């Protein structure tokens, strides 16, 4: 496997020159602009912190990006993964997420070594569509507190929603208005402008400016560390055996989701570039990345189709584009953390709600129901 990887790297960088380096640099900068708001948002929606999302995007961008089975793969925190992590965080806290990430990394690494990368091709397309839609619903409903400025309690989404009956649903007008404006801004943002600067980044910048200038009473992200080492990291020595037993099943779910999401992303990107993904090498890369992430304080990472398609369309030539994207994210965290700490939570909630809507394969869903009613 190592020999195959080194040959892939040699082929990838054959004839590499300054012109290709410039393309990689610009592609990395472009995808970093897309990845930054998503990293913050998915860090929050996973039950961790915005900082954890940034750390995940940076470390996975460097580690997984370097070892990936395809030069175009961009990895980081994703919405689908965040939906699973919410329930783990509610029961086991941040240490539970970190341990689950570590164990999932082991399973992914083993899957790559055992050459199980082709198994996802046997999953029926309707199953994947339904699974994605279910994840989208969980993401959207999981942002009710941040979107409306309300408070809920519970260990899972159903308990949280049910708690509104006893706690009430006293929405905050400033929070709700900001969330709605961000959603409308994302929906009606001109496509020709989106090619130059991501709509999500524009909306977050505008919302942050409004929060600071008008001193709006809305929740903000809070302190962003100026280090890629979070204060909350995995401490294996302090864990009991029971902790491993409690997290085992969720970690398998994370590994399975990471495997499916990364390989489906690679299959789609491979068609876009004409260069197929080495699926087993990709699983090894994802495994190593997720093994390392918890020791920095990161959450699980997988390949992300939106960010991957952006880097391809931006002219990426090699995996250096993904590494550049991680470096740009690191610089933004080190230099802009005071500004990023002022980002309002309703702005991130708005981004996540629109992301959840766009995750659905509406054309496939429409076709499914048309066939169902036609048959009936």
Q: What is the mean pLDDT of the chain?
A: 89
Question: How many Å apart are CA 205 and CA 194, to the nearest integer?
Answer: 14
The token duo for 35 is 């990845």
pLDDT interval class at 241 (50, 70, 90): confident
Where does the pLDDT of residue 59 fall: very low under 50, low under 70, confident under 90, or very high at 90 and above?
very high
pLDDT at 151: 92
Which pLDDT score is estimated for 372?
66
**Backbone dihedral region for residue 369 (phi beyond 0: left; psi -120 to 50: alpha; all else: beta):** alpha
97, 85 contact by CB (below 8 A): yes
pLDDT digits (tens, 9 = 90+) for 313-350: 888 999 999 999 999 999 999 998 888 889 899 998 99
Q: What local confidence, expressed as pLDDT, does residue 355 receive?
A: 80
pLDDT score of 183 = 96
User: Where in the chain are the domains?
Assistant: 20-375
What is the per-residue pLDDT across 175-225, written as a single tens digit (0 to 9) for each?
999 999 999 999 999 988 877 787 888 899 999 999 999 999 999 988 777
Residue-level pLDDT at 328: 95
Q: Any idea of the CA torsion for 270, 36, 329, 190, to the nearest 10 degrees?
A: 80
- Would the pLDDT of 376 be above 70? no
What integer is the mean pLDDT of 244-265? 92
Please compute the mean of the pLDDT values over residues 283-293 and round it to a whole number. Answer: 98
- Token output for 51: 């900082």
Q: How far apart are CA 180 and CA 191, in angstroms?
A: 20
pLDDT value at residue 295: 96
Helix (H, G, I), strand (E, B) or coil at 142: coil
């Amino acid at each position: 496997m190592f020999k195959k990887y080194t040959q892939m790297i040699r082929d990838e960088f054959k004839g590499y020159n300054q012109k290709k380096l410039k393309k990689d640099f610009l592609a990395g900068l472009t995808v970093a602009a897309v990845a930054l708001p998503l990293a913050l948002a998915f860090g929050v929606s996973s039950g961790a912190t915005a900082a954890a999302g940034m750390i995940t995007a940076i470390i996975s961008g460097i580690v997984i990006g370097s070892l990936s089975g395809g030069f175009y793969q961009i990895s980081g925190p994703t919405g689908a993964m965040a939906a699973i992590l919410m329930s783990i965080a509610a029961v086991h806290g941040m240490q539970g997420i970190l341990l689950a990430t570590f164990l999932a990394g082991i399973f992914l690494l083993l899957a790559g070594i055992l050459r199980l990368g082709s198994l996802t091709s046997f999953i029926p397309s309707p199953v994947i569509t339904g699974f994605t839609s279910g994840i989208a619903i969980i993401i959207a409903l999981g942002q009710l507190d941040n979107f409306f400025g309300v408070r809920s309690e519970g260990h899972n989404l159903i308990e949280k929603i049910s708690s509104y009956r006893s706690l009430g649903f006293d929405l905050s007008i400033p929070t709700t208005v900001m969330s709605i404006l961000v959603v409308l801004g994302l929906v009606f943002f001109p496509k020709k402008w989106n090619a130059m600067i991501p709509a999500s980044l524009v909306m977050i910048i505008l919302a942050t400016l409004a929060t600071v200038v008008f001193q709006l009473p809305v929740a903000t992200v809070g302190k962003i560390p100026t280090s890629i080492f979070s204060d909350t990291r995995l401490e294996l020595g302090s864990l009991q055996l029971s902790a491993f037993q409690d997290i085992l099943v969720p970690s398998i779910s994370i590994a399975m989701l990471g495997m499916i999401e990364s390989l489906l992303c690679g299959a789609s990107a491979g068609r876009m570039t004409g260069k197929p993904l080495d699926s087993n090498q990709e699983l090894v890369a994802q495994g190593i990345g997720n093994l390392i992430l918890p020791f920095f304080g990161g959450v699980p990472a997988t390949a992300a189709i939106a960010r991957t398609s952006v880097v391809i369309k931006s002219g990426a030539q090699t995996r250096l584009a993904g590494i550049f994207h991680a470096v740009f994210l690191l610089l933004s965290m080190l230099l802009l953390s005071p500004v990023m700490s002022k980002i309002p939570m309703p702005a991130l909630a708005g981004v996540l709600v629109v992301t959840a809507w766009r995750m659905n394969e509406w054309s496939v869903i429409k076709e499914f129901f048309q066939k169902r009613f036609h048959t009936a």
